[in-house]
Structure 1
Amino acid sequence: MCTTADESGMTTLPEISLAKLTADETRGEERQRLETACQEYGFFCLVEHSIPKKQIGQAIEASRQFFALPQSIKERYSHAAQNVYPAVARGYGPLHGEILHPEAHTDPKELFGLGIENEGDRRPFAGATRFPDEASAPGFARSLLALQATVLNKVVPQLGTALADMIGMEQGWFQRHFSPPTLMQRVIRYPARGGKCGKHTDGGFFTLVLQEELPTRSLQVWFRGRWMPVPSLPDSLVVNLGDMFQALSDERFKSTPHQVAHSGLSDRISLPFFIYPDIYTRLTSRQGRHSFGVAEMMLRNMESVAAGNGAGRAREL
């Protein structure tokens, strides 16, 4: 189990094996465990996911080197320098450049955003990211895109299919609406002794988070009326449900609020992958209680963050 402790004693975040989710002999039992984890927590640790540890380490180290560059160089690749829509979906965002909860003010973190790289694609949240070149940031673009390819090929289809089946979608539903998905990929640096992001929910179908294996428990999940700190376990990634999943499940499953409060003595690098359906898809839940356009919902959430009103269901929290 993904074990943590708080004032109430020991609490556990469930571990789900991607290998068991996809193997014929273990699929049924593991999918039942997945459903329980999603009902009780909306968060779980994914293990046996087949992402090479070396690949994760290379992306973290290259990201750390990028954030160590002079501010003037990082600003050359800012949101404003990107040729995509909306601009804040790609490129560099400085410290205190984002508000995920309106009562928390600006977040002391810096980030770089990217997505699926399709030169000339003018759809929202698509196109090509303007990266620093290899001389300025060795391995930065290369390692992040290599990690992206692994996540999109080896994790997203398998886990997404299991989640879609769990809420009763017809066979092939995930493949039909997520081929390809809309991806918002980020690398985030939380500074030592005070890096934070405000309490919020994620807007997509689900989120995958690769973290550094640090002793501090910076990620906090809202569970049973209190914040539960989540450890960074070796060879695991954290998965949480998003607002689109909540809607498509007709509220059977909830997108769980979470925040980051980093008190460690060194910076913390986080690599989240926010998974959405194809941008021009319109989806309806099984019971018909919710129907939405993906582009409309994503843009509305982005506008809320830009206006300082928070991300996802932050205003309800």
Structure 2
Amino acid sequence: MTMLPEISLAKLTSDATRSDERGRLQMACQEYGFFYLVEHGIPKEQIAQAIEASRRFFALPQSIKERYGHASQTVYPAVARGYSPLHGEILHPDAHTDPKELFGLGIENEGDRRPFAGITRFPDDALAPGFARSLLVLQATVLNQVVPQIGTALADLIEMEQGWFERHFSPPTLMQRVIRYPARGGTCGKHTDGGFFTLLLQEELPTRSLQVWFHGRWVPAPSLPNSLVVNLGDMFQVLSDDRFKSTPHQVAHSGLTDRISLPFFIYPDIDARLTSRQERHAFSVAEMMLRNMESVENGNGAGRARELQ
């Protein structure tokens, strides 16, 4: 296998093709837990603008970027928002710190004091032209045009009742990141994602940096033009009563240029308490998210990283 399955969002939402495409979605989730999403409708210009603005931000002097680090943020937990420098995070305990830098944001709701909610402190437009604006424009498109359709299809896949996704993800809890992997050695350790699902916008580079664990080996997931990558998270696995697995993945970037990655980690409403279809599992979204964040902060890895050898 050199590529993951392709799923068309246009076909997934069309009355004429929905049934067949949902069958293909089920196969992709059962076999891989990862797939490319094509015909997704996100304007290429929005993606390009976000990538270019992010490059300008990461090119700023280190002292300026660090003004917008976790310590300067008012969201709880602080590590959910703002700048993290190279070697500032551990996604697998055996891999030590990741040589990558990132900036985290979420849905901007002033006055919301719940975990993972509130306002991100961004550099202004004079320092980082277009940075906040382009990321938030892209966020609005993803949340309005992609997340509801994919989320509803995935909820149907695990046989949740009609309207379940809309009820528990209106709004979702979002952890959005922009990540820079340096040339010739940017990595992130093997891990699983903690949410319901993840949407990833990859730069279209010739290097095959993203790697997916498949049938006992690491398989590259190269950049496919005009596509997103979607993968299942730990919450999806729990809510499916383990019928579907959150697939381990890692990044090993050996390219001659930096790589910009734009992941959107989609979680249910932070106040939700959810039960799996067969009632084998129940959990608080806030408690599960905070527990996973604490594991990363303590160097114990993300998601099911500790299970991965």
In the superposition, the TM-score normalised over structure 1's length comes to 0.97
Q: Which residue of 2 aligns with 1:91?
A: 82
Q: Distance in 2 between matches of 1:253 and 1:182?
A: 22
Does 1:191 find its partner at 2:182?
yes
Q: Which amino acid aligns with 1:24?
A: D
Match of 1:248? Answer: 239
Tell me whether 1:150 sits opposite 2:141 in the alignment. yes
SS of equivalent residue, structure 2 residue 138: helix
Aligned equivalent of 2:132? 141
The correspondence for 2:271, drawn from 271, 280, 305, is 280
What's the CA shift for 1:64? 0.5
Q: Which residue of the partner structure matches residue 16 of structure 1? A: 7
> How much has 1:302 moved relative to structure 2?
0.2
Of the three residues 282, 286, 290, the one matched with 1:291 is: 282
Q: Deviations over 1:17-58 (max 9, x none)?
A: 001000000000000000000000000000000000010000
Q: Are the aligned partners of 2:28 and 2:34 in contact in 1 as well (CA < 8 Å)?
A: yes
CA distance in 2, matches of 1:36, 1:233: 20
Q: Would the aligned equivalents of 2:273 and 2:282 in 1 still touch at CA under 8 Å?
A: yes
Q: Distance in 2 between matches of 1:233 and 1:138?
A: 28
Aligned to 1:188, the other structure's residue is in SS state strand
The answer as to 2:174 corresponding to 1:178 is: no
Query: Counterpart of 1:47 in structure 2: which amino acid?
Result: V
Query: Following the alignment from structure 1 to structure 2, what is the Cα–Cα distance between the partners of residues 204 and 11?
Result: 26
Cα shift at 1:149: 0.1
SS in 2 for 1:12: coil
Aligned to 2:222: 231
Q: SS at 1:220's partner residue?
A: strand
CA–CA separation in structure 2 for the residues paired with 1:205 and 1:83 = 25
Give the aligned residue type for 2:98.
Answer: D
**Structure 2 counterpart of 1:76:** 67
Distance in 2 separating the partners of 1:159 and 1:240:
11
Cα drift, residue 193 of structure 1: 0.2
Q: Deviations over 1:90-128 (max 9, x none)?
A: 000000000000000000000000000001110000000
**Alignment partner, residue 5 of structure 1:** none
The answer to whether the 8 A contact 2:2-2:221 is kept is: no
What percent identity do the matched residue pairs reach?
A: 86
**Aligned partner of 2:256 among 251, 265, 270:** 265
User: Unaligned 5+ residue runs, structure 2?
Assistant: none
SS of 1:280's partner is: coil
Letter in 2 for 1:30: E
- Secondary structure in structure 2 of the residue aligned to 1:269: strand
Report the counterpart of residue 191 of structure 2 in structure 1.
Answer: 200
**1:316 aligns to 2:307 (yes or no):** yes
Distance 2:80 2:87 in 1: 16
Structure 2 CA distance, aligned partners of 1:24 and 1:79? 45
Summarize the alignment of residues 297-308 of structure 1 with structure 2, pairs less than 5 Å apart. 297-308=288-299
Q: Hey, what's the Cα distance between the residues in 1 that align with 2:52 and 2:236?
A: 32
Q: How far apart are residue 12 of structure 1 and its match?
A: 3.2
Q: CA deviation at 1:306?
A: 0.3
Which residue is equivalent to 1:112?
103
SS of residue in 2 equivalent to 1:272: strand
Aligned to 2:283, what secondary structure does the other structure show? Answer: strand
Query: Helix, strand or coil for the counterpart of 1:63?
Result: helix
Aligned with residue 121 of structure 2, among 130, 141, 148? 130
Q: Counterpart of 2:106 in structure 1: which amino acid?
A: G
Question: Using the alignment, how far apart are the partners of 1:115 and 1:11 within structure 2?
Answer: 33
Displacement of 1:11 after TM fit? 3.6
Which AA in structure 2 matches 1:164?
Answer: A
Number of aligned residues:
308
